[in-house]
Structure 1
Amino acid sequence: MPRLPDMEALGVFARVVELRSFAAAAEDLKLSKATVSKAVGRLETRLGARLFNRTSRRLALTETGAQLAERARRLLADAEAAEDDILARSAQPRGLVRLAAPMSFGLIELAPILPDFLAQYPEVSIDLHMSDDKVDLVGMGFDLALRIADLPDSSLVARRIRTVERMVVAAPAYLERHGRPTHPSHLAEHACLGYAYLPTPETWRFSGPGGEQVAVRPAGPLRANNAEALLPALEAGLGLAVQPDFIVRDCLAKGRLTAVLPEWRSPPIALHLVSPPGGPRPVRITALADYLVRRLGGGKAR
């Protein structure tokens, strides 16, 4: 009779990979570090190959370990999801959710609403990763991610939360010195501050009220990979920039910036919640996903 897979060792291995530490995995699983090490060793013996290269300072997957890691993660996630699915009606969500978000959106809109969620679900913890880089959800082990983009087709599961408007803005002082452009083509004569992660950072595209399409190649003294980093230069009157509504909302309300070309629109983008493909998700992930859609969408997905 063939032996059954060592599911316990595979689960322990998956947790070590996720937390990048034997000690952290032991603490998370409520096991001794020796028990975790023996489980991984048992798996290595069974497979006849090392899964980690270990030094006193670094833990790195071997080629075999990297090949096994994603399958082990899916096995563990499926097992957790199966248990959570059975207990969903009565179980309190618990455990870790790994969440990725764009830097400025995470600081301005996401971080302020997380305390309410954590108060509602005291047995859930969140590992929040903020970066404007597009993270690999599956490869980096994230459960959920917020993305602001026109999403291409992919294997990820996406829920559209709301539209994100983008607008050209400038300080009143800049417009007093250099004049207010009345057509996107006039932007070629102005200092334009660039955001590196626009869909087409080398070209700004606009649609007019009559359906006119205009493309402009901006040039200016500053470009950054974070849109919020452009605000000091904008407020200092160094140029114009295309900015998302949530970053400039406060500056517009206080008069530090003003909208330019309001009748022209940049290509539409939206805030999405994305997650890896697969079967039932643990209840802790579903609880956070539903909460984010409700709070960030103003009560419902739009």
Structure 2
Amino acid sequence: MDRLTEMEAFATVVDQGGFTDAAKKMGISKSAVSKHVSALEARLGARLLNRTTRRVSPTEIGLAYYDRARRVLNDAGEADALVTSMQSAPSGLLRISVATDFGVNLLSPILGDFLLEYPDITVNMVLNNRYVELISEGFDMAIRVGDLEDSSLRARKLTETSKRMIGSPSYFQKYGRPMKIDDLNDHKLLHYSNQANGNVWKVTAPSGEKRQVRSNGWLTVNDGQSLLNAAIAGLGIAYLPSFLYAEAMRNGQVEEAIPGLPVETLGIYAVYPPGRFTQPKVRAFIDFLARQFMEKGPDNW
């Protein structure tokens, strides 16, 4: 006799308080439920139920067995649901957190293609420049650039972006070009206002030494596109990812400030909460992004 069916019959009798109601719950005869429970007790060599004419209740051993059996049955139910979910078409609301720069410049232009490919999915994309807690804030996933701080999250690397200091030809003609890191102290710098460490650039010297450039800057703003626009306008030097400045550099609107410096490369990741399986809607979007960015980065944008 099937062990899982025996466990289900016993647990249902405990839940329902008797064989008659258990039989109705399982959709089988009362005698079949009784046979399953008797077979279980015989196999275990223990009495699991106290039977009287008025009620049925678990013995001390039966109560301990019930707790474990119910867990096993719940896990079995989740396993069945997992298979059903994995085979079902992706659907439902997908909440995504993404930095404003990346979302506006790279995700917004391709979201339409994703929605046309998966019409049963609706997307709520939240653009902000802060680190969100995925689970507590109700997000299904996030796109993050740079080092991953939370190692408990699952992550898939989509591509990479380089990061350079850039300025316009007109700026360098007017103020000169910095030849080394220390020269930046005499230049007009353009900063992100949402940096955790303030107006500080972490730069790698040709020797490999990690340097910090501290300056109040001429302009501070919480938007990368605005910093790029300011750099193009000749207002100063900005330190930006290539997915923002690549087109402007191809067009000659900006140039690298100190070409001899090592180029910093940052990973771009899709991150999502840990779990035994990935929701189809999340898996579909991550696979879509992987295809979109397959031939992108670190400088090819």
TM-score when scaled to structure 1? 0.67
User: 5 Å matches for 1:1-302?
Assistant: 1=14, 83=81, 85-89=83-87, 91-198=88-195, 200-265=197-262, 267-298=264-295
SS at match of 1:109: helix
**Alpha-carbon spacing, 1:284–1:259, altered in 2? closer, same or farther (3 Å):** same
RMSD after superposition = 2.4
Tell me how far apart the structure 2 counterparts of residues 231 and 81 of structure 1 sit (CA, whole Å).
50
CA contact (8 A) 1:162 1:270 kept: yes
Tell me how far apart the structure 2 counterparts of residues 81 and 183 of structure 1 sit (CA, whole Å).
60
**Alpha-carbon spacing, 1:82–1:126, altered in 2? closer, same or farther (3 Å):** farther
Once the 2 structures are TM-superposed, how far is the Cα of residue 142 of structure 1 from its aligned partner?
A: 0.5
CA contact (8 A) 1:81 1:283 kept: no
Tell me how far apart the structure 2 counterparts of residues 199 and 152 of structure 1 sit (CA, whole Å).
13
CA contact (8 A) 2:164 2:264 kept: no
Where structure 1 has 5 or more consecutive residues not aligned to the other structure, the ranges are 4-78
Which structure is larger by alpha-carbon Rg, 1 or 2?
A: 2
Once the 2 structures are TM-superposed, how far is the Cα of residue 199 of structure 1 from its aligned partner?
A: 6.2
Which residue identity is paired with 2:107?
L
Identity of paired residues, percent? 31
Once the 2 structures are TM-superposed, how far is the Cα of residue 171 of structure 1 from its aligned partner?
A: 1.1
Once the 2 structures are TM-superposed, how far is the Cα of residue 215 of structure 1 from its aligned partner?
A: 2.4
- Where do 4+ consecutive residues of structure 1 move more than 2 Å? 79-89, 196-203, 208-215, 265-269, 296-300
CA contact (8 A) 1:167 1:265 kept: no
Equivalent pairs counted in the alignment come to: 224
Once the 2 structures are TM-superposed, how far is the Cα of residue 201 of structure 1 from its aligned partner?
A: 3.9
Where structure 2 has 5 or more consecutive residues not aligned to the other structure, the ranges are 1-13, 17-76
SS at match of 2:136: helix
Once the 2 structures are TM-superposed, how far is the Cα of residue 2 of structure 1 from its aligned partner?
A: 5.7
Once the 2 structures are TM-superposed, how far is the Cα of residue 81 of structure 1 from its aligned partner?
A: 9.2
**Alpha-carbon spacing, 1:82–1:277, altered in 2? closer, same or farther (3 Å):** farther
